[in-house]
Structure 1
């Protein structure tokens, strides 16, 4: 794996878990996995596009 792929995967994991589990701390209902993964992919793609 190249460093860009590692950063993409790490960003995807962190963003997905953050969206999934931090919502209840702010009084929001827990986000479904599908929505959390979709948001994580968007954030990771934007980070990848900026980094290349």
Structure 2
């Protein structure tokens, strides 16, 4: 399945999370904790993108 023309690659998104949100090391333990933490980080990233797109 191909991403859309404007969609960043998965590795780009995870690189942004590591670089800009400080997600170099997970703080929660276990697979479910890691999933929750990554979901929160993705949500924060999406909210930041939405804020840039929204008119002032």
Which has the larger share of helix?
1
Larger radius of gyration: 2
What TM-score, normalized by structure 1, do the two folds share? 0.39
What TM-score, normalized by structure 2, do the two folds share? 0.38
Highest RCO, 1 vs 2 (Cα 8 Å, sep ≥ 6): 1
